[in-house]
Structure 1
Amino acid sequence: IRNKVKQILQLSNDKSSITLEETIEKYLRSTIQKYDIGKVAFEVENQLWATLYDYPALRSCNELLKYITSACRTAWGLANQTPPYYIEFQTAKFDKQIHERFHTSDNESDTIIENIDLSRGK
C-alpha cells in the first residue's frame, strides 16, 4: 500500500511528502486490528486448497480458517511497522543481514539447510 500511495501521489523526498508518508504509516499501524484482511485470507486459502487438493475436508476446518486469518493479521501487522518486518521463508542462501547461524554451522557455507524459529511463545 505504501508504494502504491507513493506512486499515485508522486511523493518525493521533500518535507511535505515525508510528513504525508509518516501520517499514512501511522494510520496503517493504528488500523492493524481492524483492517479488513478478508481478501488476503481468501487468497491464502485458495493457494492452500490448490496445493492440498487431495484434502477437501480442510476447506471446512474452522481451526485452520481461524489460523489463516490470524496469520494474515500478524503478517499485516508486521508489514506495517516502521521499518517494516519481512517474513523470509524461501531463501536458500545465507544472508548475514537477515539470518543468524547456529553455533555448530559451517561458517564458510552460504547454503541454508534448515530454518529454525527460535522465538518464544507466551
Structure 2
Amino acid sequence: MSEQALPPTEVLERLRTSAQGLSSVQAQQRLNEVGPNEPSNVKRRPALLQFLQMFTNPLVAILLIASFIGSVAKNYKLIKMMTTMKAGIDIIEEKERSFYMFYRQKFLKYPSF
C-alpha cells in the first residue's frame, strides 16, 4: 500500500518522525545517514541526439510512413511539414524540461513534493 492511502499517523511512523517534524539531533543523524536532500544533476542531451531520439516515437514512425506513401501519391508536402513541426515542438519541450530541472536545482531551496 502506498503512503498516500495510509492514515497520517502510520505514515509518520514509517518515516520515523512526528507531526512536529525532526529534532535538530534527528535531522543531523539523518543527514549523516543518507546525505543532503538535493536533486540529482541533470545531464543535458545534445540537440542532434534529441532529434534522432524522436524517431523512436511511434507517432513519428507513422508520420514518416505516411510521408513515404504520400510521396508515392505525389501529395507529401503537408505530411513532411507535420513531421518536421512535431520534431521541432519535441525539441522545444525537451529544452523547457531541462531548463526547469536546472532552475529547480540551482534556485529552489526546498524542492516540492
With the shorter chain as reference, the TM-score category is 0.3 to 0.5
Greater Rg over alpha carbons, structure: 2
Structure with higher RCO (Cα < 8 A, 6+ apart): 2
Q: What TM-score do the two structures reach when normalised by structure 2?
A: 0.34
Higher helix share: 2
